Amino acid sequence: MSKFLLPLFAFLLLVGMFVIGLTKDPSRIPSPLLGNPAPEYALPSLQDPDVLVGSADFAGQVALVNIWATWCPGCRQEHGFLMELAAENAVPIFGLNWRDNRPDALQWLRNLGNPYETSAFDADGRVGIDWGAYGAPETFLVDKNGMVVHKHIAPLTREIWERDFVPLIEQLEGGE
Amino acid sequence: MIPEIGHFALIIALALALCQGVLPLIGAHRGDATLMSVARTSAQGQFIFVVISFACLTWAFVQSDFSVEYVANHSQLALPTVYKISAVWGAHEGSLLLWILIMSAWTVAVGRYSKKLPPEFSARVIGVLGLLSVGFLLFTLLTSNPFLRLAVIPPDGADLNPLLQDPGLAIHPPLLYVGYVGFSVAFAFAIAAMLTGNLDQKWAKWTRPWTTVAWLFLTIGIALGSWWAYYELGWGGWWFWDPVENASFMPWLMGTALIHSLAVTEKRGLFKSWTLLLAISAFSLSLLGTFLVRSGILVSVHAFATDPARGFFILAFLGIVIIGALVLYAIRAPELDSNAGFKLVSRETFLLLNNIFLVIAAAIVFYGTLMPLLYDVMGVGKISIGPPWFEFAMLLPMLPLALLLGVGMHAAWRAQPEGVLLRKLRIPALIAVAIGIALPGIAYGRTGILVSVGVAAGIWIMLSSLLDPWRSWRREAGATAMPRSALGMSVAHFGVGLFVLGITIVSAFNIETDQAMRTGGAVEVAGYSFELRELRDAEGPNYQAIEGRVEIRRDEALVGEVLPQKRQYLVQQNWMTEAGISAGWNRDLFIALGDQLGNNTWSVRVQYKPLIRFIWLGAFIMALGGLIAISDRRYRSAA
């Protein structure tokens, strides 16, 4: 086979990929995690690398897991609302600081406030992959049995919260 | 009535593009001069009708004719006239029309300046451009017609996306498109050469100026886009590795490689099949960029049109164009290889390395942009690739590229005695290393290996670029002056040096803090004190704003006053950040209002950005270098 055919084959491969990609809408695929156990993880805490934090922290309770990073404008947008949620004690929020660097992230929490019970520091993004994150911010609602009940991609707002999260949380809390 | 004329003119343009795409190619194949002569006239005709069509759409915008759906969706009565005009290409349909306009303008220019080329060859070039035009015209008319009317006419429009209401973004897309589309000329030259089966050094000489013009517009376009993102997105970053930015960066990298490989093909008759492949790739990546942005296959802030039908059309078009080109390449390229040799230390080797590193860089961007998509397609989960990954990965090809650049441009063709090179370059190299070690510590009070390497690389490229112009300037009377093309190269490379220096310093010594600030309060950043004197209401034609007045002082002396704004656009109701920037040659002070925290208290982002202007200045100087190079006498008497 001639080496001059290689570019053609490489391109055909790419086209095949695009055709499949076009038939999917990335923002509408339900997370495969929905209804499944939340991926377990234990990572160094953002504040103290020697302390491990992770999925064990929210075992047995209804909790939010929020994936964020300082390079993500949407995270900044929703941060104010997360602060409000934390102030209202609505649901404990567990942060996963994703593909970020520690000083920036700490600075961010100092400046904008810290709504998180704990913040896990996922420097190489491996836990983010387990959670199926393809961008930040993403927010997961986890029930008492550790099942992922809901996933929200894009910044969280009061409106989305009232519409998508509150009914679910009432149901989960009421089911005792 | 006017929009219908525009629509109709576009259909006539399609008919003419069909003539332009089919007849000259048949003519060139049969050696029929009459058919070949159709090329120029039909290209001119097509251009005239596209201009009419574009003018009609512009008229609809200026007159605020909201019976046209596209106008109703992207304009409003209170929009300033400048933005009514730039709104024409503010969204998908109109930007396609702009693409077509630019493409037909390029074709007319090719027709005008290719009269000395062999008639079969220029007929083929124009024919290929005509076929590309057909594709875009069909795409517009079938899937994205900007002239469609609404049954119910709204009293006012939905307004142009406020992000786009800015002078920077008004001219950024046209420049970018001139660059993208310009690569179609290089592409058409490559196809024509393969159809003829004859690719000689003359071919490279014809192709070079066209490629350089396209490249220089793309350079300016990208630089403007980056500058726009810097002051308009309120984030203080100048490059986000957003898929849309990557889509323009990949053709740029390939185009840069193409320019260099064309030089080898012209001077030495080497790298022929490689040059062809680059010419195909540069344009393919331009098309791919359009595809990525328009299809919504990658979701991003920029992707305003998410419509799978359009995606499939572009993909089919892309497939036909690129597969056709690559099949032709597979058939023809094997005949083209030549075996003129060159020594290990020679300009050929350096240009080969340049090409390798640039292509690796493009591959990295490509990988980073498309890998998340691939993971998704294979159903193995989703990954996200963020700026940290790109920044690290890009260092791998870019650092050696920067270091080799300074040597490469002084190497001679065929073989270069190492001793001469060493003697010529050792002083600049020593100065660069010395500055690299000293500057970070002295000017910014902090040192680091990577910073020193970056600074040394930047200074090294600048000094090395200045050597030849300096010698030429100091030459004895009677000695020949530097040719324009060599001067252009030196200037462009000097721009690269500035760019490298700027990136290094700003990424190492950039300071940013987010603070809560109330009126009367002050923050201290990098020795400057920022005092928020007052907050007041401001009003624009179609927005209301809260404006902060911030005084910047250094050692009590007033450095400047800036007015950052938080704007709310009245129709779309979204908030935009207008940063206050106090610019200087050696640093920018950047203040952006964040969110209101309480009465008279705002979160404020304050940044100190040393040498950030060098990044854009460097890019503009690169483009200027390209401009000087194409003014070389060699190209003016091209034949």
pLDDT in tens, B301-320: 333 344 667 777 877 888 89
A 24-83 residues with CB below 8 A of B? Answer: 24, 26-27, 69, 71, 73, 76, 80
Q: Please indicate whether, in this complex, the C-beta atoms of A5 and B330 are within 8 angstroms of each other.
A: yes
End-to-end CA distance of chain B: 47
- B125 plus B268 within the same structural domain: no
Q: In this predicted structure, what is the pLDDT of residue A57?
A: 87
Q: How many angstroms separate the Cα of A16 from the Cα of each of A23, B158, B281, B291?
A: 11, 38, 18, 14
Residue numbers of the domain that contains B229: 171-336+350-363+393-404
Q: In this predicted structure, what is the pLDDT of residue B616?
A: 95
Out of A63-72, A88-97, B423-432, B572-581, which region has the weakest mean confidence (pLDDT)?
Answer: B572-581
Q: Please indicate whether, in this complex, the C-beta atoms of B308 and A22 are within 8 angstroms of each other.
A: yes
Chain A residues near residue B514 by CB distance under 8 angstroms: 107-108, 111-112
Question: Taking CA B485 as the corner, what is the angle to CA B481 and CA B491, rounded to the nearest 5 degrees?
Answer: 90
Number of C-beta neighbours around residue B240 at 10 A: 21
B 388-407 residues with CB below 8 A of A? Answer: 388-389
pLDDT in tens, A14-70: 878 777 766 655 445 556 677 788 888 888 898 888 888 888 888 888 999 999 888
Nearest-by-Cβ selection for A134 from B329, B383, B387: B383
Q: What is the widest separation between alpha-carbon atoms in chain B?
A: 81
Contacts (Cβ under 8 Å, ≥6 apart) of B243: B292, B293, B298, B300, B302, B303, B369
Q: Could you give the CA distance from residue A171 to residue A117 in angstroms, rounded to a whole number?
A: 23
Domain membership of residue B341 (yes or no) is: no
Q: Could you give the CA distance from residue A84 to residue A93 in angstroms, rounded to a whole number?
A: 11
Q: In this predicted structure, what is the pLDDT of residue B220?
A: 95
The rounded mean pLDDT for chain B is: 88
pLDDT in tens, B338-384: 666 788 888 999 999 999 999 999 999 998 888 776 666 666 555 66
- The ipTM (two decimal places) reads 0.72
Q: Please indicate whether, in this complex, the C-beta atoms of A73 and B330 are within 8 angstroms of each other.
A: no
pLDDT in tens, A65-124: 999 888 777 788 888 899 999 888 888 999 999 888 888 888 889 888 899 999 999 887
Q: In this predicted structure, what is the pLDDT of residue A96?
A: 92
pLDDT band at B459 (very low <50, low <70, confident <90, very high): very high
- B208 plus B313 within the same structural domain: yes
- B144 plus B180 within the same structural domain: no
Q: In this predicted structure, what is the pLDDT of residue B258?
A: 96
Note the pTM of the prediction, 2 decimals: 0.80
pLDDT at residue B336 tops 90: no
User: CB distance from A19 to chain B under 8 Å?
Assistant: yes
- Average pLDDT estimate for A133-140: 78
Domain membership of residue B421 (yes or no) is: no
Listed ranges A60-74, B41-55, B333-347, B390-404; the one with the highest mean pLDDT: B41-55
Domain membership of residue B293 (yes or no) is: yes
pLDDT band at A175 (very low <50, low <70, confident <90, very high): low
Q: Please indicate whether, in this complex, the C-beta atoms of B315 and A17 are within 8 angstroms of each other.
A: no
Q: Please indicate whether, in this complex, the C-beta atoms of A5 and B383 are within 8 angstroms of each other.
A: no
- B43 plus B123 within the same structural domain: yes
Q: In this predicted structure, what is the pLDDT of residue B495?
A: 97
Q: Are B221 and B619 in contact (CB under 8 A)?
A: no
Q: Pick the residue with more confidence: B313 or B466?
A: B466
Closest CA to B606 of B622, B596, B591, B586: B591
Q: Please indicate whether, in this complex, the C-beta atoms of B319 and A15 are within 8 angstroms of each other.
A: yes
A 90-149 residues with CB below 8 A of B? Answer: 99, 101, 107-108, 111-112, 125, 128-129, 132-136
Min Cα separation A63/chain B (Å): 23
pLDDT in tens, B176-227: 889 999 999 999 999 999 998 888 888 999 999 999 999 999 999 999 989 8
- B142 plus B223 within the same structural domain: no
User: CB distance from B598 to chain A under 8 Å?
Assistant: no
- B141 plus B26 within the same structural domain: yes
- B204 plus B143 within the same structural domain: no
Q: Could you give the CA distance from residue B639 to residue B635 in angstroms, rounded to a whole number?
A: 8
Among A77, A97, A134, most B C-beta atoms within 10 A, so best to mutate, is A134
Q: In this predicted structure, what is the pLDDT of residue B234?
A: 67
Chain A residues near residue B323 by CB distance under 8 angstroms: 8, 11-12, 15
User: CB distance from A87 to chain B under 8 Å?
Assistant: no
pLDDT at residue B118 tops 70: yes
pLDDT at residue B131 tops 90: yes
- Average pLDDT estimate for B116-138: 94
Nearest-by-Cβ selection for A26 from B334, B376, B516: B376
pLDDT at residue B513 tops 90: no
pLDDT in tens, B593-631: 887 877 788 888 899 999 999 999 999 999 999 999 999
Domain membership of residue B8 (yes or no) is: yes
The domain covering A37-174 belongs, at the CATH homologous superfamily level, to Glutaredoxin (3.40.30.10)
Q: Pick the residue with more confidence: A167 or A2?
A: A167
Closest CA in chain B for residue A128? B383
pLDDT band at B84 (very low <50, low <70, confident <90, very high): very high
Min Cα separation A111/chain B (Å): 6
Out of A85-89, B138-142, B296-300, B442-446, which region has the weakest mean confidence (pLDDT)?
Answer: B296-300
Chain A residues near residue B280 by CB distance under 8 angstroms: 7
- B106 plus B250 within the same structural domain: no
pLDDT at residue B639 tops 60: no
Contacts (Cβ under 8 Å, ≥6 apart) of B427: none
Give the per-residue SS3 of A32-94.
CCECCECCCCEEEECCCCCCEEEHHHHCCCCEEEEEECCCCHHHHHHHHHHHHHHHHCCCCEE
Could you tell me how many residues make up chain A? 176
- B213 plus B139 within the same structural domain: no
pLDDT at residue B385 tops 90: no
Domain count across chain B: 3
Chain A residues near residue B295 by CB distance under 8 angstroms: 22
Q: In this predicted structure, what is the pLDDT of residue B305?
A: 40
Q: In this predicted structure, what is the pLDDT of residue B57?
A: 97
- B55 plus B192 within the same structural domain: no
Q: Pick the residue with more confidence: B235 or A58?
A: A58
Closest CA in chain A for residue B295? A22
Q: Pick the residue with more confidence: B561 or A136?
A: B561
Listed ranges A120-129, B258-267, B315-324; the one with the highest mean pLDDT: B258-267
- Average pLDDT estimate for B27-44: 93
Domain membership of residue B216 (yes or no) is: yes
- Average pLDDT estimate for B577-588: 89
- B356 plus B326 within the same structural domain: yes
Nearest-by-Cβ selection for B315 from A5, A19, A135: A19
pLDDT at residue A144 tops 70: yes
Torsion, CA B310, CA B315, CA B320, CA B324, rounded to 10:
150
Out of A162-171, B104-113, B234-243, which region has the weakest mean confidence (pLDDT)?
Answer: B234-243
Among A4, A6, A159, most B C-beta atoms within 10 A, so best to mutate, is A4
Q: Please indicate whether, in this complex, the C-beta atoms of B315 and A22 are within 8 angstroms of each other.
A: yes
- B528 plus B592 within the same structural domain: yes
- Average pLDDT estimate for B456-475: 92
Among B326, B331, B392, most A C-beta atoms within 10 A, so best to mutate, is B326
Q: In this predicted structure, what is the pLDDT of residue A101?
A: 81
